[in-house]
Amino acid sequence: MKFKIGDLVRFVDEPIEGHITSFQKNDIVGVTDETGFEIPVPANKITLVHGNMKRADDDDQMNAVPTNQPFVDRGIFLGVEGEQKEGLAKFYFINHTSYDLLITVSEISGTKRNGLFADKVLKKDFVHFYSANFNQVGKWPNFDIQILRHADIPHNATSPIRREFRVKPLDLINSKESDEIIEGKVWRFELDKPDENIGLDKLKDHFISHRPGRR
């Protein structure tokens, strides 16, 4: 069976579950449990736990009857959950918008890409897509994230989102934010934030008008 970083797995011979956080020599896999301790185990001694990307109460949220809410066209976040002293970091996509999202994630390695995740995230929902160790934060992947937005009611046209994004150690100095969808505190990074207009044309005009000798 082919595993990937972030998969939730269960030990065959012991009552232990955890997320895959590394691949080692001789077909050994590093599995980090909820305590943040990484356990080396042969790949043939673990099995994938299916349906691990959502919480147990997600079906209730999905079956809830929608109310007449204003259309929300912005609020797609990458969230990181966990305590640095405990070791395990969990990465989520959190969708505060009225769009259903189709998201793919690859790890950037030079000119190559290695697929890590591909799935949909329904409106007002979230999904866990990756796990890592806090003590390896300097080696966390540089993600290539692509997002398509869909809604079955009238809305403004949108372009696909494509971003390269990496969580850096300095990003974790900031305080976590409470998120009502994930029902917890996470470090949040907005993925659909419009590019800032730094006024290059005005800056260019300013320097030209103040060039020495110009009247």
**pLDDT, tens digit, for every residue of 105-153?**
999 999 999 999 999 999 999 999 999 999 889 999 999 999 999 999 9
Among the listed residues 204, 174, 168, 206, the one whose alpha carbon sits nearest the alpha carbon of residue 187: 174
Among the listed residues 81, 67, 97, the one whose alpha carbon sits nearest the alpha carbon of residue 158: 97
Superfamily the domain 58-190 falls into: Smr-associated-like (2.60.40.1600)
For range 98-104, the mean pLDDT? 97
Residue type, 38: E
Residues of the chain with CATH 2.60.40.1600: 58-190
Indicate the DSSP class of residue 65: P
In this prediction, residue 56 carries a pLDDT of 44
* pTM for the predicted model, two decimal places: 0.69
In this prediction, residue 63 carries a pLDDT of 47
In this prediction, residue 215 carries a pLDDT of 54
DSSP string, 44-57: GGEEE-TT-SS-TT
Cα Rg of the chain (Å, integer): 21
Report whether 152 contacts 123 (CB < 8 A): no
CATH number for the domain running over 8-48: 2.30.30
Cβ-based neighbours of 210, under 8 Å, separated by 6 or more: none
> Which residue in the block uniquely carries the two structure tokens 């993600």?
143
pLDDT digits (tens, 9 = 90+) for 166-188: 999 999 998 999 999 999 999 99
In this prediction, residue 115 carries a pLDDT of 93
pLDDT digits (tens, 9 = 90+) for 18-76: 888 888 888 899 998 877 788 999 999 999 886 545 544 445 554 444 556 799 999 99
Residues of the chain with CATH 2.30.30: 8-48
The answer on pLDDT for 2 being more than 70 is yes
In this prediction, residue 67 carries a pLDDT of 54
In this prediction, residue 120 carries a pLDDT of 94
Residue type, 87: G
Among the listed residues 56, 51, 48, 160, the one whose alpha carbon sits nearest the alpha carbon of residue 104: 160
The answer on pLDDT for 164 being more than 70 is yes
E strand spans, the chain: 8-11, 17-24, 28-32, 38-42, 46-48, 76-81, 88-95, 100-109, 112-121, 125-133, 143-150, 161-165, 177-179, 184-190
In this prediction, residue 35 carries a pLDDT of 77
DSSP string, 130-173: EEEEGGGGGG---EEEEEEEE-SS-----PPEEEEE---GGGGG
The answer on pLDDT for 208 being more than 70 is no
